[in-house]
Structure 1
Amino acid sequence: MIKISEHVNQIISSSPFMLEALAEGLVNVSSLARKIQPDVEKAAGKEVNSSAIVMAINRMPLGDLLHLDKNLRLFFRKMTDISVRSGLLDYTFLNSETLLAKQVELLNAISEAAKVFYSFSQGVSETTIVISESMGTKLEEIFHSEKMLVKEKDLCSISLMLPEGNQAIYGVYYYILKELALNGINLVEMISTSNEYTIVLSNRDLDKAFSLLMGLRHR
């Protein structure tokens, strides 16, 4: 039979923001207990006293979360570089038998241009291309026969050069995305390689996002 404490752990652990706020002492435990009481009772299949939930919350093992936060802070202090690119466009096309050939044609055109930002991501049914505005007209000329699903403009990117070994530390992307989400910054695209993580966002969010990400290096 599952104990009340186990139900409480599962419910709170399903919300990273709640768990982190609890670990940092930002949550009133009694209020939290009352908030999750209906969920605990539903999971337990019976009425549960709020004082029992308070006790379960206070006994939660939060040490691992605090240790992870410390490791991530140390990790981001080693981040070597943050770079910004402006003047980007974002296109999404429906996948087709001819789309790959169009990408090859576009790459040939890009090879003749200087300092062009280009990234593409192919999914099961659609492909997204992020490219410098200077190549927008050429891209639309090459892809004119393809079905365009989305076009977004007035975009920029922020690229983080992550320390080596970032693949061995869990929570790296969450730590970045949490900071942006809590400050109301929406992302258009995310692009990653082994040691580089790039976010594409609206120009209006650039200053705020850049400041937040720079702040990760000084915590």
Structure 2
Amino acid sequence: MKTVSNCVEDILITQPYLEEALSRNIINFSALAVELTDPISKMLKKEVKPGAIMMALRRYSPPPTLSNSVKMKRAIQNLGDITVRSNLTDFTVRNSDTLIDNHSKILERINLETKLFYTFTRGIHESNIIISSSLSDFIKEQLVNETMLAIQDGLSAITINLPQDNSKIAGLYYHFFKRLAWEGIVLYEVISTTNEFTILVEDEFVDKAFTAIKRVKT
């Protein structure tokens, strides 16, 4: 049987910003309890008093990864260089039997270049090629017989070098996404390897995004 505490937990899990603010004791418990009275009453299908909700809020223990644990602080302090690359184009192509062969021709050309930005991601139904815009026309020629789903230019990539043990730290990416969301920055694409994390944004957001990520590091 669901309780008031269960309902409070369900609501906070779906609203991580609210959960974090609660963990930092910067929320008025009484006001929040009143705000949650109606939704929790509907969830339980009976009238619930704000006092019961306030007690559940005070007893709630957020996941330890939301607090500034020593491990998380160390990881953020050990973030490596932040690199920005501009003049990028993103090609989204439907997967096909011929895409890999055409992509191999693209790789041959890329091997002749030394300062290109390039990533390739294959999903279940579509693939993405993100590359320096100087090769945009060449990519279009190689993919002329493929089904092009989208082409977006005027993009910039911001890459953060992560500490070696980043894959063992829960919530690390959350700190980046939280800061970017608070700044109203729209992410066009997210790419990651084991020790690198890259966001792709439209050029108008790149300065703001770079500053936001620097704030996470500092």
TM-score grouping bracket, smaller chain normalisation: over 0.9
| Matched length | 218
Q: Report if the CA contact (8 A) 1:73-1:216 is conserved.
A: no
* Partners of 2:7 and 2:43 within 8 A in 1: yes
**Deviating 4+ runs (over 6 angstroms):** none
Q: What is the aligned partner in structure 2 of residue 214 from structure 1? A: 214
* Aligned match of 2:31: 31
Cα distance change of structure 1 residues 41 and 173 upon mapping to structure 2, 3 Å threshold: same
Amino acid at match of 1:18: L
For residues 149-179 of structure 1, give each alpha carbon's deviation from its aligned partner in whole angstroms, at most 9, with x where no partner exists. 1111111101000011000000011111111
Q: Which runs of 5+ in 2 are unaligned?
A: none
- Structure 2 residue 105 is matched with structure 1 residue 101: no
State the identity as a percent.
35
- The equivalent residue for 1:43 is 43
| Residues 163 and 43 (structure 1), Cα distance of their counterparts in 2 relative to 1, 3 Å cut | same
CA distance, structure 2, for counterparts of residue 24 and residue 61 of structure 1: 11
> Contact (CA 8 Å) 2:175, 2:216: kept in 1 or not?
no
For residue 64 of structure 2, what is the aligned residue in structure 1?
64
Equivalent residues in 2 for 1:139-178, closer than 5 Å: 139-178=139-178
> Is 83-92 or 37-46 further displaced after alignment?
37-46
Q: Deviations over 1:40-86 (max 9, x none)?
A: 11222211011111121122124725545554233111112111111
Q: 1:124 to 1:63 in 2, by over 3 A?
A: closer
Check the 8 A contact 1:121/1:129 in 2, yes or no. yes
Give the SS at the match of 1:186.
Answer: coil
8 Å Cα contact 1:159-1:199 kept in structure 2: yes
- Tell me, in whole angstroms, the C-alpha distance in 1 between the residues paired with 2:88 and 2:104: 20
Could you tell me whether the CA contact under 8 Å between 2:66 and 2:171 is conserved in 1? no
Hey, what's the Cα distance between the residues in 2 that align with 1:16 and 1:71? 20
SS in 2 for 1:163: coil
Q: CA RMSD in A?
A: 1.6
Letter in 2 for 1:204: E
Hey, what's the Cα distance between the residues in 2 that align with 1:49 and 1:23? 23
Whether the 8 Å contact between 1:20 and 1:65 is mirrored in structure 2 is: no
TM-score by length of 1: 0.93
Mark the CA change 1:65 to 1:118 in structure 2 (over 3 Å): closer, same or farther. closer
1-structure distance, mates of 2:162, 2:197: 7
TM-score normalised by L of structure 2 = 0.94
Instruction: List per-residue Cα deviations over 1:111-165 (Å, max 9, x = no partner).
Output: 1122111111111111111000111111011111111111111111010000110
- Aligned partners of 2:185 and 2:209 also within 8 Å: yes
Separation in 2, partners of 1:150, 1:63: 39
